Amino acid sequence: MLKAALLVLGGLTLSALVWHIGIGRIYEAVSQLGPAAMLVILLPSLLMYILEAYGWLVTLGAWATNVPFWRVLAIRTAGEVVNMTTPAYVGGEPLKAFLLKRQGVPIVEGLASVVTAKTTMTIAQILFILSGIGLAFWLLGSGGSAGQTAMAGLVSVGLLGFGVGAFVVVQRQGMFGWILKVLRRLGLRIQYLESREQQLLDLDRTIAGFYATQRSAFLLSTGLFLLGWLAEALEVFVMILCLGQPITVLSALAIGALAVLIKGGTFFIPGSLGAQDAGNLLLLTAFGYGDVTGITFALLRRFREFVWIALGLGCLAIMARGGDRSLPAE
């Protein structure tokens, strides 16, 4: 019920923003973009998906040679559909492991790769956001609402960084075994977990083994995800240029990173509807752009999301029918 209420509230917020700025003004800005420009706008997100698929692939270790890259890309695209359309942005991770199992990867190794890839992606995300906050301070100054927003973001990222660091430590010590022990000390025995204790312990060993013996893969995965996040900044650069507005590389980096922070901070709203769009509008206004450019930019990013949701649903439909063998192989 709460999810539905947040979704409706988000939709009303976005509608109010569009109505306030003016549908005609927004249509005039969008109409200046031809089909070629719309395709160009999608290229950075394609690069992002490819880089992030490689970032996940390297966490599979020896199993990476068993799964063609294009199938990994298709599985990740399908999983991201669930992430983008549900709160918390993690619902698609078990789906990825399940689809990997259909490609011959044992469920333990698949789940371990999902956990470690999510960790390296989050570490890269923190580095990207920190760089964006630093650039925002430099470009906008520390005073005013923009500076206060950047400071709040810095505190939030600091807390997130601490949480991720603690999460890595717990993973190395045996996260699922620790959870079982805590539940038992509390007098709670969840049959679903108890019946899978050995599988969970095997999962702990696989994750800990990755951190202990695959340090180069850990660094490579983090680096690939960081490049993927940088593709977000490239998208900002391309979109604003296509809207006929000037932009510098540093401004694009700052806007891209802060936009990621805004989206992450509104994870509890399905699709971050309304909150993400209002945040992008305020963000571009802080960097000196008009409200038409800001809301058009937000809507273009929604257009990109809709395209990838459609592609993800297509991948999911193919694999759900057992037609994943028809996907292109290397």
The pLDDT value given to residue 13: 77
97 touches 110 (CB < 8 A):
yes
Closest to 297 measured CA to CA, from 252, 250, 230, 249 = 252
Residue-by-residue DSSP string for 9-50: HHHHHHHHHHHHH-HHHHHHHHHT--HHHHHHHHHHHHHHHH
The pTM (predicted TM-score) of the whole model is: 0.83
Q: Which amino acid is at 283?
A: L
Distance CA 219, CA 221 (A): 5
| CB-based contacts of 244, cutoff 8 Å, min separation 6 | 32
The pLDDT value given to residue 90: 62
Encoded tokens for 249: 């590389």
Distances (CA, A) of 77 to 80, 129, 294, 318: 5, 23, 28, 12
Q: For the chain, which ranges sit under pLDDT 70?
A: 1-4, 6-8, 10, 20, 86-91, 142-163, 166-167, 170, 172-175, 178, 182-184, 188-197, 267-268, 270-271, 322-330
Distance CA 113, CA 128 (A): 22
The pLDDT value given to residue 330: 40
The pLDDT value given to residue 194: 65
The pLDDT value given to residue 1: 65
The pLDDT value given to residue 198: 77
